[in-house]
Structure 1
Amino acid sequence: MDYLDEFLLIVIAHFFAVASPGPDFAVVLKQSVQQGRRNALWTSAGVGGAILLHIAYCVMGVALILSQSPSLFMALKYVAGAYLAYLGIQALRAAKPGASSTNDIDDQTAPEESIWVAFGRGFFTNALNPKATLFFMSLFTLVISQTTPVSVQIGYGIYMALATWAWFSALSLLLSKACVRDFFQQRGYWFDRGIGVILIALAVRVVI
């Protein structure tokens, strides 16, 4: 109870951060439509797992080092931008389907990825997101007191990881519904291009 006010601030800040559109949402949307529910849920688990990485370096004090080293943080931004641009280019290179009937929609679905590829896609999208890095740096320097025990800080981190996983899992369940997938798959070529443009735009935004 001693840290209830601090925890409530974290809950509110984290909710607005995780609900705002960004690379995580774009990747989960893409995986839900192209790969289906199982893959999207593992991608969501990867996003949630990456939160624990952010918490780990914040608790260890690496966030302070990043905040004091603009060149190191800029390098992280370029790596993240390159990764998002890579995902965007992959989407833009999707082959244009030939003329087909609605019965061929399932044939246009991308080959199913392994669960580890799906998990890694979500994990690295969030882990390399400077927006997430800035959020947790701010959280651990402005909201969480330096006198808060490490065990309590870890508890905060576990909550945020689980909340992130739950949020994107809920989106995965919604976006992978048959009616939603059919809508996007019928427009799969343009959907891929749209997601590709969004990811590349996010890459540019991350860098500049």
Structure 2
Amino acid sequence: MDMQIISILIITGIAIISPGPDFAMTLRNSLRHGRTSGLLTALGIACGISVHITYTVFGLSFLLLENAWILNSMKVIGACYLAWIGISSFFPKTEDQTAAVTKGKPGTLTSLTAFKTGFLSNALNPKTALFFIALFTQVISPGTVLSTQLFLGLFIALGHLLWFSIVALLLTHHRLEKIILKSKRTIEKVTGACLFALGVKIFFHSN
């Protein structure tokens, strides 16, 4: 395998495990709604990568570089979404609280909602957008064959799915769950605050 491709794979792996909105979203949904919601969030994050793969493979990343307002719009939308999710962490839904009291289990999101929060978290994440733009416009040349670009896109998507599925599984493991349960609401609030802070930071850096 070409050394350039190997370098890209290593850089991508490091980027995937770096804490960010996707990690915070997986953490929030896993702790607040359980393992299934966490895994569906991970799947949504991996599918969100398809948005970035599409515009990079078809050359739209060059358009984004030449038209800063498009990227800035993405940043504002993503920032507002993260801030909203962060704030909602401080106000658990009534049904979630009821489920936790009556069943001793976390309230659950619908499968679609859990998937959607993961998908939007990644698709609207300007950090991921900038990473793809940098990767496909600086590291990969216009002459790079389509199969190589698609391979890298698939690797990145599967890498996200694997990593965030592991995060969800670990957070909901029965041994760790007992430890985490004691400080569950505190962790949720800290995670929510981080999401809100990320949203605010991104919003003001986009202007």
Worse-matched range after superposition: 151-160 or 184-193: 184-193
Give the Cα separation in 2 of the matches to 1:126 and 1:192.
Answer: 20
* Structure 2 CA distance for partners of 1:127 and 1:190, relative to 1, 3 Å: same
What is the RMSD computed on CA atoms of the aligned residues? 2.0
Structure 2 counterpart of 1:53, which letter? V
Give the Cα separation in 2 of the matches to 1:48 and 1:80.
Answer: 17
Which position in structure 1 is the counterpart of 2:131?
135
Which position in structure 1 is the counterpart of 2:178?
182
Residue 172 (structure 1) shift: 1.1
Residue 190 (structure 1) shift: 2.2
Which position in structure 2 is the counterpart of 1:55?
53
| Number of aligned residue pairs | 199
Residue 146 (structure 1) shift: 1.3
Q: What residue ranges of structure 1 are gaps of 5+ in the alignment? A: 97-102
Worse-matched range after superposition: 123-132 or 197-206: 197-206
TM-score (norm 2): 0.89
Q: Counterparts in 2 of 1:12-161, with a 5 A limit?
A: 12-94=10-92, 107=104, 109=106, 111-161=107-157
* Structure 2 CA distance for partners of 1:105 and 1:12, relative to 1, 3 Å: farther
Q: What residue ranges of structure 2 are gaps of 5+ in the alignment? A: 95-99
1:51-97: CA deviation from partner (whole Å, max 9, x where unpaired) = 1211110011111111111222111111000000110110022379x
1:149-193: CA deviation from partner (whole Å, max 9, x where unpaired) = 112211111111111111111111111112333333333332232
Which position in structure 1 is the counterpart of 2:8?
10
1:106-161: CA deviation from partner (whole Å, max 9, x where unpaired) = 5462x211221111111100000000000000000111121111122111111111
Identity %: 34
TM-score (norm 1): 0.88
